Homo-oligomer: A and B are copies of this chain.
Amino acid sequence: MQSSTRDRIVVAASRLLQRQGYVGTGIKQIAQEARATLGSVYHFFPGGKEAVAIAAIEHGAGEFAALLREALDGDDDPAEAVAACARQLAHELRESGWTDGCPVTAAALETLGTDSEIQRACADALRDWERLVRDKLLRCGFPASDARELATTVVSALEGAEVAAQVGRSEEPLLVTGRQLARLVRSYEIQGLSP
């Protein structure tokens, strides 16, 4: 299973970006981590650092979406599924030593003032994750407007709880937020809607 140079660059960049942000990560560092040379990086990404970052963010966003999808599909009950997302995030965060958080937040916040393509990629990622949660809720019989509002809240809260967990080096914010989100989801169910 040999990986292509381009793939190694994207994966390494993705990891470094989520740990140190956009400005904090150097092109040379990415090349070194990916066991590639500067020439290779600029060969595959003529757009330079920004192009590498965009590809890396899209890769990280896809990984995050896969994690989300798997956790959501793992439980029929939507409330339990949301809590499972939080637990899974907490588990991976702890395993990485609290370093590998959301692959988008760090890079997004640094490039807000600029009109970079990076923030577009980040906005797309957030929209995508929200859609995953919304569709799960729709499949469970939630009305469209409730599903949309809940999905926005769930993604925002998980995002924020992950940051809190990283800063505090503790799983607690994620686990607590997962429990409360499950409760919030159930507060719609008890009003009766689905079989």
What are the residues of chain B within 8 A of A98 when measuring CB–CB? 112
CA distance A17 to B79 in the complex (A): 37
* B157-A153 in contact (CB<8A): yes
A-B contact pairs, 17 of them (CB 8 A): A20-B113, A23-B24, A101-B109, A126-B167, A149-B176, A149-B179, A149-B180, A152-B164, A152-B173, A152-B176, A156-B177, A157-B157, A158-B160, A159-B164, A160-B160, A183-B184, A184-B187
Knowing that A105-B163, A160-B161 touch, tell me 16 more A-B residue pairs with CB under 8 angstroms: A21-B23, A23-B24, A99-B112, A105-B105, A108-B166, A109-B109, A126-B164, A149-B179, A149-B180, A152-B164, A152-B176, A152-B177, A153-B177, A159-B164, A183-B184, A187-B187
Kindly report which residue of chain B lies nearest to residue A153, judged by CB atoms.
B180
A52 located at the interface, meaning its Cβ lies under 8 Å from any Cβ of chain B in the complex: no
Kindly report which residue of chain B lies nearest to residue A108, judged by CB atoms.
B167
